[in-house]
Amino acid sequence: MNQDNFNSFVSSIALSLLSPTVIISKIVESELIQILEDIGKASEEIFRGERLPILNYQHQIKNDDVI
């Protein structure tokens, strides 16, 4: 009977030590996903075209260049 109490004690200690670790890792995971999504949205804004300068150049198409 003493061995059962010891196993129960070890199990409860292990569970109490691992539970906060799992909860904290889930919180960090959700925050990291949010940060990565924000970075992705910011990079889309850069390449969307509002912040890029308009390039003024003349491009003439010759009849020979038409495919």
Residue 9 within any structural domain of the chain: no
Query: What average pLDDT does range 37-60 have in this prediction?
Result: 75
Task: For the chain, give the mean pLDDT.
Answer: 81
User: What share of the chain has pLDDT > 70, as a percent?
Assistant: 73
Residue 18 within any structural domain of the chain: no
What pTM did the predictor assign? Answer: 0.52
Contact 32, 24 (CB under 8 A): no
Residue 19 within any structural domain of the chain: no
Number of domains in the chain: 1
User: What share of the chain has pLDDT > 90, as a percent?
Assistant: 28
Q: Which range marks the domain in which residue 43 is found?
A: 25-67
pLDDT band at 48 (very low <50, low <70, confident <90, very high): confident
pLDDT band at 42 (very low <50, low <70, confident <90, very high): confident
